[in-house]
């Protein structure tokens, strides 16, 4: 395994620059964390939950390892049933976020199972596969193929897909996602579908869930999170859907009951509030503001002559670096000459070389200021 974690390296370089230039205002456009505060309806729900815990007649101790039924029912009723997807309560597992489940799910599989990862990718898929001692086949996503991964040329057992994609900011069409479900059916593979950015999808043609594809319940586990949807990166709550047809639901329940003692009652009450009319409206407003910031970056970078991708159904913009630069040399150049922090694409995988990622989880004024600073480049 590589020693340093990508984001630690970025933080260290940024800190070193700030230490040498204490008066400079550095613009952080690389952040993969939400920046808008929690909406009021969610905060109020969590306050009420804390109050309940402080009285003996409304106190809650351990909850179910897979989460309170009222939250699982709300997820089914709001996120799946309206799209024609029928799930039972015991197929939905509440978690402390997608991050842990994406890694822990690998415990369901034999270590000899081969993993396929569409790359560049969120680092967790590769790192947790290596920690589990598995071999990996990387599926490069390049501009020549519109960043759509090719089907594996060798048989694979576990496939990580993430749509809308981090870091590319791109999505798959229904037809493209169907090819993957058919591949998994034919090859008896399991797809681990990371839908952390589902709430950013803006077009009705783009699938929000892999279960919109017929047959996907036999071959796919879907991982979602309230982190990017509702600003829960610090609160911690997510959920994973393991359909019975995969044959893995009871094993995952057994695993969770042994190794996980449940998500905080307060977090789950906060998550439930995202499904109230006020909660939904507040979340929509937050996401609309990230979309607007993404548009500022997209159009601004295009006007400066950069080739950019993504940024419509996701908060991320994938930007080709100018000729003569690598991901890291352009990162350094932007930091040293414009005091802007981006994320080097190569940190997400070999095919990310020659790109950087900009994030709309940035302050809009900072993006506008960054575009002015970049004019002189
Ligand atoms: C942010 C993110 C997650 C969510 O992680 P949490 O642990 O739920 O905060 C999952 N997958 C991707 C690709 C992400 O970018």
Question: Per-residue pLDDT tens for 206-231?
Answer: 999 999 999 999 999 999 999 999 99
Q: Cα(296)–Cα(76) distance, rounded to whole angstroms?
A: 35
Percent of the chain with pLDDT over 90: 96
Contact 148, 293 (CB under 8 A): no
Give the pLDDT score at 1.
80
The dihedral over CA atoms of 17, 21, 27, 33, expressed in degrees to the nearest 10, equals 50
34 C-alpha vs ligand 1 centroid, how far in Å? 11
- The full set of domains in the chain, from first to last, is 6-30+279-374 (3.90.1150.10), 42-276 (3.40.640.10)
19 C-alpha vs ligand 1 centroid, how far in Å? 30
CA 79 to the chain's CA centroid: 17
Claim: this prediction has a pTM higher than 0.85: yes
Q: Is the CB of 192 under 6 A from ligand 1?
A: no
23 C-alpha vs ligand 1 centroid, how far in Å? 33
Q: Cα(248)–Cα(258) distance, rounded to whole angstroms?
A: 15
Q: Is the CB of 166 under 6 A from ligand 1?
A: yes
Nearest CA to ligand 1 atom 15: 166
Mean pLDDT of the 154-162 span = 97
Residue 162 reports pLDDT greater than 80: yes
Point out which residues pair with 158 in neighbouring strands: 115, 190
Pick the closest to residue 46 from 311, 268, 237 (CA basis). Answer: 268
Nearest CA to ligand 1 atom 14: 196
312 C-alpha vs ligand 1 centroid, how far in Å? 18
Q: Is the CB of 194 under 6 A from ligand 1?
A: yes
Give the pLDDT score at 3.
73
Residue 64 reports pLDDT greater than 90: yes
CA distances from 95 to 66, 81, 237, 257 (A): 7, 21, 6, 12
Q: Is the CB of 238 under 6 A from ligand 1?
A: yes
Q: Calculate the average pLDDT of the chain.
A: 96
Residue 5 reports pLDDT greater than 80: no
Residue 4 reports pLDDT greater than 80: no
Give the pLDDT score at 255.
98
Tens-place pLDDT, residues 243-259 = 999 999 999 999 999 99
Element (H, E) at 288: helix 277-303
- Local structure of residue 155 (DSSP, 8 states): -
93 C-alpha vs ligand 1 centroid, how far in Å? 16
Q: Is the CB of 122 under 6 A from ligand 1?
A: yes
Name the residue of 165, 227, 357 to mutate for ligand 1: max ligand atoms within 8 A of Cβ: 227
Give the pLDDT score at 232.
97
Give the pLDDT score at 32.
84
Name the residue of 32, 198, 228 to mutate for ligand 1: max ligand atoms within 8 A of Cβ: 228
Pairing of strands 340-341, 27-28: parallel
Q: Is the CB of 104 under 6 A from ligand 1?
A: no
189 C-alpha vs ligand 1 centroid, how far in Å? 23
Work out which ligand 1 atom sits closest to the CA atom of 228: 1
Contact 141, 317 (CB under 8 A): no
Pick the closest to residue 229 from 75, 357, 347 (CA basis). Answer: 75
Work out which ligand 1 atom sits closest to the CA atom of 238: 8
Q: Is the CB of 196 under 6 A from ligand 1?
A: yes
Give the pLDDT score at 376.
81
Tens-place pLDDT, residues 27-47 = 999 988 998 999 999 999 999
Residue 24 reports pLDDT greater than 90: yes
164 C-alpha vs ligand 1 centroid, how far in Å? 12
198 phi-psi bin (left φ>0, alpha ψ -120 to 50, beta other): alpha
CA distances from 40 to 29, 177, 242, 275, 364 (A): 26, 36, 32, 13, 22
Q: What is the 3-state composition of the chain as percent helix, strand, coil, each rounded to the nearest 5?
A: 45, 15, 40
Name the residue of 194, 198, 271 to mutate for ligand 1: max ligand atoms within 8 A of Cβ: 194
Give the pLDDT score at 47.
98
Contact 67, 239 (CB under 8 A): yes
Give the pLDDT score at 103.
93
């Amino acid at each position: 395994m590589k020693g340093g974690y990508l984001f630690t390296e970025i933080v260290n370089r940024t800190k070193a620059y700030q230490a040498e230039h204490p008066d400079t205002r550095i613009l952080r456009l690389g952040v993969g964390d939400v920046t808008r505060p929690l909406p009021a309806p969610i905060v109020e729900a969590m306050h009420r939950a804390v109050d309940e815990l402080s009285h003996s007649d409304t106190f809650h101790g351990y909850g179910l390892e897979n989460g309170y039924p009222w939250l699982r029912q709300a997820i089914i009723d709001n996120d799946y049933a309206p799209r024609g997807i029928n799930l039972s309560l015991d197929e939905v597992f509440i978690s402390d976020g997608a991050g842990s489940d994406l890694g822990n799910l690998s415990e369901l599989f034999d270590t000899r199972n081969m993993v396929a990862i569409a790359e560049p990718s969120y680092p967790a898929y590769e790192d947790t596969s290596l920690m589990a001692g598995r071999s990996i086949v990387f599926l490069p996503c390049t501009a020549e193929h519109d960043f759509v991964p090719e089907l594996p040329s060798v048989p694979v057992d576990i496939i990580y897909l993430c749509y809308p994609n981090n870091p590319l900011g791109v999505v798959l069409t229904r037809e493209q996602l169907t090819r993957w479900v058919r591949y998994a059916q034919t090859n008896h593979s399991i797809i681990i579908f990371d839908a952390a950015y589902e709430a950013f999808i803006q077009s009705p043609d783009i699938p929000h869930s892999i279960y919109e594809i017929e047959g996907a319940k036999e071959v796919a586990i879907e991982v979602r999170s309230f982190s990017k949807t509702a600003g829960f990166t610090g609160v911690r709550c997510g959920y994973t859907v393991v359909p019975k047809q995969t044959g893995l639901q009871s094993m995952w329940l057994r695993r969770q009951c042994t190794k996980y003692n449940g998500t905080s009652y307060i977090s789950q009450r906060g998550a439930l509030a995202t499904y109230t009319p006020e909660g939904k409206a507040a979340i929509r407003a937050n996401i609309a503001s990230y979309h607007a910031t993404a548009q500022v970056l997209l159009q601004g970078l295009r006007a400066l002559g950069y080739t950019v991708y993504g940024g419509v159904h996701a908060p991320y913009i994938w930007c080709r670096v100018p000729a003569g630069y690598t991901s890291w040399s352009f990162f350094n150049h932007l930091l040293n000459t414009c005091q802007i922090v981006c994320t080097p694409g190569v940190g997400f995988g070999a095919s990310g070389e020659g790109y950087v990622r900009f994030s709309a989880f940035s302050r809009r004024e900072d993006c506008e200021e960054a575009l002015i600073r970049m004019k002189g480049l």
